[in-house]
Amino acid sequence: MSSGSAGTSAPTTETPAGQPVIQRQKRGRGPMIAVIAVVIVVILVVVVGWQAGWFKSSSSSSSGTCVPPSGQTLNGAGSTLVAPLMIAWSLAYSDSTVNYASVGSGAGISDITGKTVDFGASDAPLNPAQRADIPSPGVVTFPESAGAAVPIYNLPGISTTLKFTGQILAEIYLGTMTNWNNSVLQGVNPGVTLPNAAIVVVHRSDGSGTTFVWSSFLSLENATWASTLGHATTINWPVGVGAKGNSGVTTTVKSTADAIGYVDINYALTNGVAFGAVQNPTGNYIVANVTNIESAIKDANPTFPSATGDWYNVSVLNAPGAHDYPLATFTYLFVYKDPGVAYGSSYSQAKAQALVDFLSWIVSATGQSYSAPLYYIPLTSAAVTFDQATIASITYNGATLSACAPS
């Protein structure tokens, strides 16, 4: 895989064409920064959505004679990676009230397992133990969108986009590469004078699908990481300080000189924090953008299990294309395949119908149109077809639920 040296041919660096210029900001102040970051994300969603006309329609999902149930409230929880997109969907959808708690993928899995939400969201599929914990009648899994994890950093005075290999990132997070001017890191960044400063490692403190993606990539790139830490939503970190959520990692890195962290690309771009180019399997250093993440998803061409099957080894990391960004990921939804059976008599058929209608809308062309403006990747046609079949398989006490056709 990748190594700390540049190799026999000069790798190229791709820049995020069409993306805003990244401006590094000075040290922030206090724990209020994390709250401010979340508010900024919400404001961004509203501004982008208003410009795109997302919130100007009085009807979001119904057409023809199909009349969706009114007055229903749906609650979801989980992934912070997908939270900005979930906020956009929640604001735009008018047939039901949709609430989403951005609490991390681990909490999203716990909440759907505990049946305290209507849907759970995670960037990590259920592992075998988690699948075994899901009460009868079990859940269906399907991808709702796609994104990517990026290495963010705060190096005052450095304006050049830094390059990283997977091996370098693994050594930083293992604690075996401790200084920014390490000769290997300096070697892949010729012409950049890296500071003689200790690297401040920032990682997630909560159960995180972004951690799952990050640790899965490091496992592919570094044998020591693979054999000692592996990949999971929670890691027994050897070094570093923890922060909650993508927003917490973003604000901690922004407010800490010489820090490095990992977040979804949306959080890096909307918060103006620098993120690096990562070497892909062809040797090219790729700066993540919507185009090269989308190409990675297509080039990886994963085979989907059944909706109720084992998704744990589904991966779009290290796609083979020369221009593919190597840390792409799906983000998933978990929904009980029969809410009437799962939740009991307190769960009405109207609510189950409302859930199916909402899910059908988000995977439709209308729902997926919200992705790219927020730096998410619309689902491939194959994924949409799979999702539609999965949603059509959801029943209520054994009876079929037919979604209203999305507009």
pLDDT tens digit sequence for 168-178: 999 999 999 99
pLDDT of 188 reads 98
pLDDT of residue 214 exceeding 70, the answer is yes
CA atoms of 273 and 251, how far apart (whole Å): 9
Nearest to residue 239, comparing CAs of 201, 212, 269? 201
Q: What is the mean pLDDT of residues 138-154?
A: 97
Confidence of residue 230 (pLDDT cuts 50, 70, 90): very high
How sure is the predictor about 167, in pLDDT bands with cuts at 50, 70 and 90? very high
pLDDT of res. 57: 41
pLDDT value for 45:
53
The Cα–Cα gap between 49 and 60 comes to 14
Whether the CB-CB separation of 221 and 278 falls below 8 Å is answered with no
Question: What's the pLDDT at 240?
Answer: 98
User: Using only C-alpha atoms, what is the Rg of the chain?
Assistant: 21
Beta bridge mates, 143: 332
pLDDT in tens, 362-376: 999 999 999 999 999
- The token pair at 204 is 């997630």
Check whether domain 13-41+148-300 has CATH 3.40.190.10, yes or no = yes
pTM of the complete model: 0.85
pLDDT in tens, 379-407: 999 999 999 999 999 999 999 998 886 65
CA dihedral 135, 341, 350, 307 (to 10 degrees): 60
Residue 225 in 3-state DSSP? helix
**Stretch 203-225: mean pLDDT:** 97
Q: Regarding beta strands 139-154 and 241-243, do their DSSP bridges make them parallel or antiparallel, or are they unpaired?
A: unpaired
Q: What is the pLDDT of residues 50-79, one digit of tens each?
A: 444 554 443 444 444 566 788 899 999 999
Give the pLDDT confidence of 18-33 residue by residue, as tens digits: 333 323 333 344 444 4
What average pLDDT is seen over the chain?
Answer: 88
Least confident of 54-58, 155-159, 209-213, 240-244: 54-58
In percent, the amount of the chain with pLDDT more than 90 equals 81
Q: How many CA atoms lie within 13 A of 383 on its CB side?
A: 26
Q: Are 106 and 84 in contact (CB under 8 A)?
A: no
Q: For the residues 74-101, what does the mean pLDDT come to?
A: 96
Cα 360 to Cα 176: distance, rounded to the nearest angstrom? 47
Please give the pLDDT value at position 210.
97
- The conformational region for residue 55 under phi > 0 = left, psi -120 to 50 = alpha, else beta, is alpha
Task: Please report the pLDDT score of residue 44 as a whole number.
Answer: 52
pLDDT score of 61: 43
Which tokens in the block code for residue 262?
């990992």
Q: How far apart are CA 407 and CA 401, in angstroms?
A: 18
Structure confidence at residue 42 as a pLDDT band (50, 70, 90): low
pLDDT at 244 over 80: yes
Pairing relationship of beta strands 73-78 and 200-204 according to DSSP bridges: unpaired
Phi, psi (5° rounding) for residue 260? -135, 145
